[in-house]
A and B are shown apart, each in its own frame.
Chain A
Amino acid sequence: MRFREYLLRRLLLFIPTLFCVMVLVFILSRMLPGDPARLALGPDAPMSQISALRYSLGLDKPIHIQFLIFLENLLHGKMGLSLLTNRDVCQDVVQFYPASFELALVSMTIAMAIGIPLGIVSGIKQNKWIDHLSRVVSLFGVSVPRFWLAIIFILVFSFYMRIMPISGRIGSGIPPPAHITGLYLIDSLVTLNIPAFVSSLKHIILPAISLSVSPLAQIVRLLRAGIIEHKRAPYVMMVKANGMPEDLINRKYLFKISFIPVLSIIGLLFASIIAMSFVVETVFSWPGIGRYGSNAVLYADFNAIVGVTIVAGVTFIIANFVVDMFYGYFDPRIRYG
């Protein structure tokens, strides 16, 4: 099978997956306890107002009709009114999603930039001091709660040392960069807006680090295990015995085969940072989709819940697609099999 066919097949799988996600999310959101209209209007609202709001939101129709209306609206770029922000959920998503995406991108970059070399060194120098150190660090990483780390970071760096901003995406005196991608770091860099770049970099570092610790630890552990599993494999012994230099074996041959399991979790980790970072986003007042979503759940803002969940689902699907693409490169057996 050619690489292009492989990708096409993966891409086609996208459609049924997405549809299933939407059906599931929609039904679940309608089954949530509590009447959204009553929650929106408050406990003292008269019955007539509530039924009027139910009518205007379409909540009085049967659920399959509601779903069809929802699909039709989605094709027009609408996800229904958010009861919290009084705007269309689509607008909210477009506003909040890039912030989370940027955060996830930076923290995954940190996790990979540190985790991959550390995992390799740890696996090759098994049971040496550097391995013990990295194992302690990664054990800490998988077990420490992210929000705790976030609070400690704020205390140490923002409160006592006062070298980092406490919250937000960018300094209050600095206008955000022109909207191109919605990612402040990239936008400010493209428009050569240096003060905005520096400020947004300063703002993103602490939340990004607190989110990166757990993925970093998982990458280290998986890669270490892979290296240890493969470093005595017959194909490594063979090239070593016949004179291939050891550093070339380690960084090319051992790395590629050990990286395959790591690759498959990287996609999941990336998507889960976006979808599940609401605690850290809340601690840092990061205006991202996680914080928006958790508020939506608290106030039974059902359109927003559906919107956020679908966006999270799509993020997972896309991240896995990207991983599949790399998979084809890293493991030819998958591509041809």
Chain B
Amino acid sequence: MTSPILSIKNLAVSFNTFEGEAKVIDHINLDVGEKETVGLVGETGCGKSVTLKTILGILPIPPGKVTNGQILFGDKNLLTLPTKELCKLRGRGISLIPQDPLVSLNPVFTIKAQFLDLAMRQGEEHVSRINYYRKKLNKKQTQQVVKKIITMLQKVQIPDPERVLEYYPYQLSGGMAQRILIAISLIGSPRLLLADEPTTALDVTVQKQIITLLKKIAEDSNLSMLYITHNLGVTRKIAKRVYIMYAGQIVEMGNVREIFNEPLHPYTSGLINALPKITREKFNGIDGTIPDYVHPPKGCRFYPRCPSADESCKNQRPVMIEVKENHFVACRLFQEGR
């Protein structure tokens, strides 16, 4: 691994709910290296999107609250960065490809309106009305940005971009909308791309196209990418290294191929067994659901669902240890002294 561009250290995030404090992210560590694509896999509700929102500083606070940790982007701690600096980074340093393309574009504006405003105003904290119209009425400048947008749309393989720009979001297909969103996330030439399940809402053939496109773009523009998904199979196609997340904790990290061939954590093996395969008729799911975040299990959070659990799992939280080179796992089964 090269030196990390993004480094999450001991991050803990909780939410104030009616029942009490929900400790959703429980002290996670995560690194994304320069020009590296890293996968973050976990089932729905395990805290993947919360992690992303915390990185970008768009987590609604309250009810959210960061209780511990650091998020380093280069040498800057995003959690303590002044808003002005954070605004400069959004879109230009770190950008986001959202989850559900069809609801991620404002339905009452044309693509052009949203894209243009975003491209022209990226990096600023405040825009006064006068300043806004002055810049917008400057034909030459606007024309330049439109040209840049069109080039970007061609890069994500949108046919006839001039016409598509005049469309409203409801006139687009899911795949088109996701391509446009990718173009939006790339317009500020960021160094790190955060992809929040960008293919979940799409059908399988479009899914494949989008993944190929993302992979190509990341390689061409030397981008780093944190790719979030609940689908291990998708991760294999795009990422080299993968983090497995369960109930707000990282339980395993390693090379994708190695994790597929030799999963260490019982949860990871469960996930792999749950993947549909041509040679097998029945899937084997994992029984149970994600635990209550207000009163999570004291020890390993996976313990109530784990087939290999014993009494010590109940009270003792396992730490991440390197079992093989660059393959870490947090499980009693691999703890020292066993």
Chain A positions near chain B (C-beta within 8 angstroms): 232-248, 251-253, 256-257, 260, 330-333, 336
Contact = CB atoms under 8 A, between A and B. Distances in A.
Contact of A239 (B114, B127, B188): B114
Given A332-B108, A333-B170, A234 B91 contact: no
10 contacts: A232-B60, A233-B103, A236-B106, A237-B53, A241-B58, A241-B194, A244-B91, A244-B117, A257-B108, A330-B108
Nearest to A230: B106
A327 to B, nearest CB: 11
B56 interface: yes
A244 B113 CA distance: 12
B124 interface: yes
Chief secondary structure at chain A's binding surface: helix
A253 B116 CA distance: 13
Contact of B92 (A234, A240, A243, A260): A243
Interface string B117-128: 110011111110
B223 to A, nearest CB: 14
Contact of B125 (A233, A245, A256): A245
A248 B92 contact: no
Interface string B94-112: 0110111001111111100
Contacts of A244: 91, 117-118, 121-122
Contacts of A245: 87, 121, 124-127
B328 to A, nearest CB: 29
Given A233-B103, A235-B103, A331-B108, A247 B127 contact: yes
A241 B107 contact: no
B181 interface: yes
B168 interface: yes
Give the interface size bracket for B toward A: 35 or more
Chief secondary structure at chain B's binding surface: loop
B202 to A, nearest CB: 15
A319 B104 CA distance: 34
A242 B127 contact: no
A243 B123 contact: yes
A232 B60 CA distance: 8
Looking at A245, A251, A252, A336, which has the most chain B CB atoms within 10 Å of its CB? A245
Contacts of A330: 108
Contacts of B185: 242
Interface in B36-88: 53, 56, 58, 60, 87
Contact of A333 (B96, B107, B129): B107
Given A241-B90, A332-B168, A333-B170, A247 B108 contact: no
Given A244-B122, A245-B87, A238 B168 contact: no
B132 interface: yes
Contact of A238 (B98, B170, B187): B98
Contact of A237 (B58, B114, B124, B187): B58
Given A232-B60, A242-B96, A252 B117 contact: yes
Contacts of A237: 53, 58, 98, 104
Given A235-B105, A252-B117, A257-B108, A243 B90 contact: yes
B117 A240 contact: no
A76 to B, nearest CB: 46
B95 A253 contact: no
A239 B122 CA distance: 10
A231 B98 CA distance: 16
B118 A235 contact: no
A331 B108 CA distance: 5
B184 interface: yes
Given A247-B126, A248-B132, A242 B107 contact: no
Contacts of B118: 239, 242-244
A179 B210 CA distance: 68
A27 B110 CA distance: 49
B49 to A, nearest CB: 10
Contacts of A331: 108
A242 B104 contact: no
A124 to B, nearest CB: 12
Given A243-B123, A252-B117, A333 B168 contact: yes
Contacts of A251: 129
A246 B100 CA distance: 22
B114 A253 contact: yes
Contacts of A247: 126-127
Contacts of B114: 239, 253
Contacts of A243: 87, 90-92, 95, 118, 121-123, 188
A240 B107 CA distance: 16
Contacts of A256: 108-109
Given A241-B58, A248-B121, A253 B96 contact: no
A241 B118 CA distance: 11
A332 B96 CA distance: 27
Contacts of A336: 168
Contacts of A333: 107-108, 168, 170
Looking at A239, A240, A336, which has the most chain B CB atoms within 10 Å of its CB? A239
